[in-house]
Amino acid sequence: MCGIAAYFSRSEAGAAAQVMLALYSQQHRGQESSGITTTNGKFLQMHKAMGYVKEIFSQDVLEQLNGFAAIGHVRYPTRGSAVLTNAQPYIIETLSGPIYAIASNGDIVNYEEVALELQSRGVHFTSTNDGELLGRFIVYHHERKGLEITEAIQLLMKRVRGAYSAVFLTRNHLYIFRDIQGFRPLLMGRVGDDIAVASESCALDILHATEIREVQPGAIIVVTPNTTYEVPLSPALFSGVGEAPTMRQCIFELIYFSRPDSYEFGEYVYEVRHKIGAKLASYDDFEADVVIPVPDSANFIALGYADAKGVPFHMGLIRNHYVGRTFIRPDQYLRDESVRQKFNPLKDFFRNKRVVVVDDSIVRGTTIRKIIRMIQRAGAREVHLRIGSPPVRFSCFYGIDTPTRQELIANNMTLDQIREYVGADSLKYLKIEDLRNCVNQPNHFCYACFTGQYPVPKHAYLRTSMEKEQI
């Protein structure tokens, strides 16, 4: 998973500072690396580094990144390891210099196939990241095949399968596009005459953007110094390859990944989470003393539960906000350690209480097992675990960093075995039909991590034999 942003100013320079603010609001989408590329109309400049947005983009760095338009990225590695060569944006050098750059969020399913095809035509890659693949695809078809950039992007939409929400910058234009199934969110808005783009609306709020709207799947928005126009999804793209596939927005964005103050996929994230909590509450008929969330991702789910049941909601676990997302830590040892450093229970709060603990999901089970033990040691009489999603049984191939199927606890254990492993007195997951009822257009979502029904026929596109084994 990653976050992207772009800013096109029609009046002055300073686009980099705006993109930095948008990335800062989206730090939860990726903490490994961050980068910004700007254009001053003559050439592109870039700064990227490993680490947090605020640390990388000091005032000095921002002042050097001058230009009226900029794109940026925060990375959380899915494809390619966490090294600087895989950080985005990517600048694509040509004989005319550094004049193209791209930043994208998602995961490409047929990466190898498209990369091999481009390589066989003499295109070289400097990383294993899909942002570079998208960028080189566009530049190859524009520079060497003479297509307009919008035509090259349309061809890309036909050839490249999987998830990509992307921003592509040239010396004078910004192109904004989203894959035809719309797996990842992408929104844009106006700041006066300027155009701002981000993966999540919370980042546009901080820029005081108005007229915020979603970029439609398969659409291309072109921003020039004088105008902004849209090239809608073209049905001609699919002649010979069947129907346009239906929208498959990632339901996990709403459950866990996005910030609750964001609006995306036609939904307010906090509202969906509140509804999920109310559904979970409808499964129970016992009286708990208190409902607590695993902060922060389950806060609104727990609140929904508490509101529906009339049970007091409390923040019984205190989270150290400086630890970062434990799941994103690259290896198991770091993950184990940081769970303990991340949460601490309130003293004397749990003593003798019947507690409902709400979390958004269980992936490997590492986090919740430790948390339940903490709450029990703090004196709780009973701990009932409620999960705001169905069991995660399948890996994601569209940009969420789920581990291999073998590591997913719900793939290996029955419900009762999981309950025993995590040490809860009872365990209930949200039912998939109830999850579907929490959104306005349930048929427009991807539920593959719960159902194994992958919207892109992945067997045709698997990258390695190891991945084939995992399915």
Residues that bind ligand AMP (CB under 6 A): 256, 294, 297, 325, 327-328, 359-368, 400-402
How many other CB atoms sit within 10 Å of the CB of residue 213? Answer: 13
CB of 421 to ligand AMP, least distance (A): 11
Closer to ligand AMP by CB, 190 or 329: give it. Answer: 329
User: Which candidate in 2, 250, 446, 449 is catalytic?
Assistant: 2
Q: How far apart are the C-alpha atoms of 152 and 229, rounded to whole Å?
A: 17
**335, burial (CB in 10 Å: exposed 0-12, middle 13-18, buried 19+):** middle
Q: Is 2 known to be catalytic?
A: yes
Closer to ligand AMP by CB, 127 or 297: give it. Answer: 297
Closer to ligand AMP by CB, 276 or 328: give it. Answer: 328
The separation between CA 454 and the C-alpha centre of its own chain, rounded to angstroms, equals: 18
Nearest to 280 by CA among 296, 291, 267: 291
CB of 46 to ligand AMP, least distance (A): 27
Closer to ligand AMP by CB, 142 or 259: give it. Answer: 259
**112, burial (CB in 10 Å: exposed 0-12, middle 13-18, buried 19+):** middle
Q: How far apart are the C-alpha atoms of 307 and 295, rounded to whole Å?
A: 17
CB of 308 to ligand AMP, least distance (A): 21
Report how far apart, in Å, the C-alpha atoms of 92 and of each of 45, 84, 289, 399 are.
11, 16, 59, 23
CB of 304 to ligand AMP, least distance (A): 16
Q: How far apart are the C-alpha atoms of 269 and 300, rounded to whole Å?
A: 9
Nearest to 3 by CA among 47, 33, 37: 33
The CA-based dihedral angle spanning residues 231, 235, 237, 240, taken in that order and rounded to the nearest 10 degrees = -170
Q: How far apart are the C-alpha atoms of 206 and 20, rounded to whole Å?
A: 11
Closer to ligand AMP by CB, 154 or 389: give it. Answer: 389
Amino acid, single-letter form, for residue 49: A
The separation between CA 413 and the C-alpha centre of its own chain, rounded to angstroms, equals: 27
Closer to ligand AMP by CB, 6 or 368: give it. Answer: 368
CB of 50 to ligand AMP, least distance (A): 18
Kindly tell me the sign of the dihedral angle through the C-alpha atoms of 14, 17, 19, 22: negative
Point out which residues pair with 253 in neighbouring strands: none
CB of 137 to ligand AMP, least distance (A): 27
Closer to ligand AMP by CB, 176 or 202: give it. Answer: 202
Amino acid, single-letter form, for residue 145: K
Q: Closest CB to ligand AMP belongs to which residue?
A: 327
Q: How far apart are the C-alpha atoms of 225 and 171, rounded to whole Å?
A: 11
CB of 202 to ligand AMP, least distance (A): 18
Residue 113 is inside which H or E element, if any? helix 111-120
Closer to ligand AMP by CB, 127 or 366: give it. Answer: 366
DSSP secondary structure letter of residue 154: H
Residue 60: cis peptide before it, omega within 30 degrees of 0: no
Number of Cα atoms under 13 Å in the Cβ half of residue 368: 29
Residue that has been written with the tokens 């844009």 in this structure: 188
Closer to ligand AMP by CB, 137 or 397: give it. Answer: 397
Q: How far apart are the C-alpha atoms of 372 and 343, rounded to whole Å?
A: 11
The full length of the chain comes to 471
CB of 276 to ligand AMP, least distance (A): 13
Point out which residues pair with 37 in neighbouring strands: 46, 71
CB of 340 to ligand AMP, least distance (A): 12
Distance separating the N- and C-terminal Cα atoms of the chain? 20
The catalytic site residues sit at 2
